[in-house]
A and B are shown apart, each in its own frame.
Chain A
Amino acid sequence: MKWVTLLLLLLPFTTAAVTLYAGHRNEGAVKGLAVGGSLLTLGLAFVVAVPQLGDAAPETSVFTKTDALEPVISLATHVDQLSAVMILLASIVSFLVQLYSVGYLHDDPRYPSYATLVSIFTGSMLTVVMADDLWMLLVGWELMGVCSYFLISHHWELAEARAGAVKAFLMTRTADLGLLFAILLIGDRTGSYRITDAVVSAADFELPALLLVVAVIGKSAQFPLHSWLPDAMPGPTPISALIHAATMVAAGVFLVARMYPVFDADSLTLLAVVASITMLVSAFYALVTNDLKRVLAWSTVSQLAYMFAALAVGAWSAAVLHLLAHGAFKALLFLGAGSVVHAVGGRTSMTAMGGLREKLPDTFTTMTVGFGALAGVIPLVGFFSKDAIIHAGLDEVRHHEVIDEQAAWLVLIAMLVTAALTVAYSLRAWLRVFFGPVDPDLEVHESPATMRVPLYLLAVPTVLGGLVFVDPSQVLGERGEESLFHGSMAIAMTALVAVVAALVLYVWWSNDGADPWAPPVEELQPPEDLVYDVVLVRPLHALARAVVIHDREVVDSYANGAGASARGLGWLLRLAQNGSVQQYLMVVVIGAAAIAVAAGVLT
């Protein structure tokens, strides 16, 4: 088993190397290698992860460790229930994304490097979820940042793709410093970099926990570093599915869930406040955004905030299950959005769409399921996970065991308002894409089979995933003892969904079937970006200009002065070279005599 785990870690990277080597030599082989490699990874993932579900004891393996350093850094894996479900999520979604990309990027000249990066991305995520050593986790964590940079800038001829990639990299990288310092502090305080040691340690983790919160704020796009995720949308759509559903942003939630015993009331309160602000703000943006992919991106930010809110109120298993549920339906939604975008010729704005339900029947069916799960429609998986989280929020307001009462109220209110907004923006996007007037000039065609099959495969867990919530211990073992399904909550939430949906439909109808929330401009720029512009970008530009001027005026004049003085001295020496050999010799003789005299005087 130990070596199978190691093989699972190495396989995606091997696939990446082989794919890159095949490159442009053989296009067909590249597709086969990329899909075959990820299928093999998926098979190994089942072998490693399935035995760990339920009541199984976690499996920890140490492969090698440094012997010159204290505390030791080790190559160690720890596969428990949480790792197992994350391994399954990451490998399933990345396999489906590879399969889907064959159709989506069928004549893209950059397909080989794309497939390579997807494999590395998968491998990094598997490294993060299986790592027992914090440094190993950091390696996977940073590799994901790099891969997302390259994949977002896949269409690097587009200015917004380059800008989005740089923004994503800078924002996540800034927050990653939090993880680095947290790791150093944990190592210093516990004498070990192993996660399994840290979570049972009694050391003071107040500062490391706050730093970990900073790290996940960046990686999972929470306020105030939330604006990179929507700007990452110029990347290919399957990549958005991968980043939003199974890797990258999910890693932040995973990290908090994995290190959960480390977090104390202070850091969880910070997490609760951040999550509350994020879920509200991003749900509002989702409601007034014109671009289909950006709507989904804002909804991801909002749903991730849900998971953090659940963790902040102590609902560990609800958060993890919402992460899985969100992974399924958000991958479905993004791949469906990719199918729509593919069908309408690469445009992502919803103004280019409308009335597509008859032209794209398969995409319509599956995306309806996905939007339903996002909105929380019974009996789809999103309904169960969201209810479990809101129920946990209600419990926290009553008993406030983890955070204090004000924070608990804030979280609960934010969750309820966000739930209503989620229904509204899901319904709005669904109506705008699939209903309403059809653009008669549009040549619409349904996507190829490689793109439709993943949609149906993802629809299965989205529909049936709710069964897990009846008895979560089947998946999460002893940490998921309690049933997460509550009858009264289900009735209240269904009523909320129905009322909001009716309200949206009424507003829609009274607006003559046009979108009442269409923004006046094509794309709204979030005001936070303006704040960043004024507070960070412009001062930095001014500073850079000042540095340039200083370099040109001060540093350069020193350099030029040094050159000029050397030249002047050289000119003096050139005067001596007058061509008279006898004068040269005279200098030599005088010099030799002077040295002889000096030697005589000094000794």
Chain B
Amino acid sequence: MPLWWPLLLASVLFAIGVYGVLARRNAILVLMGVELMLNAVNINLVAFDAYFRDVLHSGQTLALFTIVIAAAEIGLALAIVLMVFRTHGHIEVDELRELADRDVA
């Protein structure tokens, strides 16, 4: 299998993830965008690991590591989303502007 197949897949996934993070208003969908970006990176890691025939398989190891980090991250993020829903009654990201510099304009 040529290298550019998985790289193309990873690029497409990453672009979709970026779009999701930047454009979706629902916090859950933003988190899904983040997951897509993380997994695009994982695909890159595994693809290069195989391509270089790394005897230590550091690419695969790092991919596993990323999966663990992603699991922890999503757990924390969902807890935050839950708290936001309880306090605000919605999870619209662009409505959450408490941290703006209110003195300006």
Contacts and interface: CB of A to CB of B under 8 A. Distances in A.
A1 interface: no
Contacts of A578: 97, 100-101
B99 A579 contact: yes
Interface stretch (A423-431, A465-473, A582-590): A582-590
B100 A581 contact: no
A580 B94 contact: yes
B104 A589 contact: no
Nearest to B98: A579
Give chain B's interface secondary structure class.
Answer: loop
A603 interface: no
A586 B98 CA distance: 19
Contacts of B21: 582, 585
Contacts of B96: 579, 581
Interface in B76-105: 93-94, 96-101, 103-105
Nearest to A577: B101
Q: In the complex, which range does the number of interface residues on chain A fall in? A: 10 to 19
A582 B100 contact: no
B16 interface: no
Nearest to B24: A582
B97 A589 contact: no
Contacts of A582: 21-23, 30, 93-94
Contacts of A571: 104
Contacts of B105: 575
A323 B93 CA distance: 97
A582 B30 CA distance: 10
B96 to A, nearest CB: 7
A574 B104 contact: yes
B18 interface: yes
A200 to B, nearest CB: 81
A579 B101 CA distance: 7
B94 A575 contact: no
B94 A574 contact: no
B97 A579 contact: yes
Nearest to B104: A574
Contacts of A575: 104-105
A571 B94 CA distance: 23
B75 to A, nearest CB: 20
A391 B10 CA distance: 115
Contacts of B22: 582, 585-586, 589
Interface residues of B, number: 16
Given A580-B94, A581-B93, A582-B94, A589 B18 contact: yes
Contact of B97 (A574, A580, A586): A580
A577 B104 CA distance: 9
Contacts of B104: 571, 574-575, 577
Contacts of A585: 21-22
A22 B69 CA distance: 71
B97 to A, nearest CB: 3
Given A585-B21, A589-B18, A579 B93 contact: no
Contacts of A574: 101, 103-104
Interface string A555-591: 0000000000000000100110111111001100100
A574 B103 CA distance: 9
A551 to B, nearest CB: 33
A581 to B, nearest CB: 6
B70 to A, nearest CB: 18
A589 B22 CA distance: 9
A577 B98 CA distance: 11
B100 A577 contact: yes
Contacts of A586: 22
B16 to A, nearest CB: 14
A401 to B, nearest CB: 90
Contacts of B100: 577-580
A69 B23 CA distance: 75
Nearest to B101: A577
A571 B101 CA distance: 10
Contacts of A579: 96-101
Q: Which among B22, B30, B93, B96 has the greatest number of chain A C-beta atoms within 10 A?
A: B22
A582 B92 CA distance: 11
Contacts of B103: 574
Contacts of A581: 93, 96
A372 B59 CA distance: 110
Contacts of A589: 18, 22
Nearest to A589: B18
A449 B94 CA distance: 97
B2 to A, nearest CB: 23
Nearest to B103: A574
Given A571-B104, A578-B101, 8 more contacts: A575-B104, A575-B105, A577-B100, A578-B97, A579-B97, A580-B94, A580-B97, A589-B18
23 contacts: A571-B104, A574-B101, A574-B103, A574-B104, A577-B101, A577-B104, A578-B97, A578-B100, A579-B96, A579-B97, A579-B98, A579-B100, A579-B101, A580-B94, A581-B93, A581-B96, A582-B23, A582-B93, A582-B94, A585-B21, A585-B22, A586-B22, A589-B18
Interface of B: 18, 21-23, 30, 93-94, 96-101, 103-105
Top 4 A-B pairs, shortest CB-CB distance: A579-B100, A579-B97, A577-B101, A574-B104
